[in-house]
Amino acid sequence: MGAMTWFTVDTTYIDDADRLAEVRPSHRAYLQELAETGHVLGGGPWADGTGGFFVVKVADREELDKILAVDPYTTEGIAAARMIREWTIALGPFAG
């Protein structure tokens, strides 16, 4: 495996709490699988319930786009918007 790139994914949810609650378990299961393979460092919802955030390590933006395309929050229309940023970790155990 070549060099990997870190990205942050900040998702804003649609304004439908019932639909969000319905889809959340499958989204979390999907991200848990990615965490178990070392791709997702961590993630979770914002305390105000308007969205969520996760950190992912992948080969490139193309791989990230493929991951997001099959995320239940994408396929089920929960993600109203996403802000994605490439992240250079400069401090801590994942730096370098």
Rounded distance between C-alpha atoms, residue 52 and residue 70, angstroms: 17
Q: Quick count: other Cβ atoms within 10 Å of Cβ 10?
A: 14
Domain total of the chain: 1
In-domain check, residue 28: yes
The residues, any chain, with a CB within 8 Å of residue 53's CB and separated by 6 or more, are 8, 9, 10, 11, 43, 44, 46
Domain containing 39 equals: 16-45
The verdict on residue 38 lying in a domain is yes
pLDDT at position 2, please?
63
Confidence at residue 95, expressed as pLDDT on a 0 to 100 scale: 80
At residue 6, the pLDDT reads 96
Residue 31 falls inside a structural domain: yes
For residue 93, the model assigns a pLDDT of 86
Residue-level pLDDT at 68: 97
Distance CA 96, CA 86 (A): 14
Residue 74 in any domain: the answer is no
Question: Could you list the pLDDT tens digit for every one of the 96 residues in the chain?
Answer: 567 899 999 999 999 999 999 999 999 999 999 999 999 999 999 999 999 999 999 999 999 999 999 999 999 999 999 999 999 989 988 887
Quick check: is 63 in a domain? no
Count of CB atoms within 10 A of residue 18's CB?
A: 7
86 inside domain = no
Identify the pLDDT of residue 44.
Answer: 95
Task: Report yes or no on 32 lying in a domain.
Answer: yes
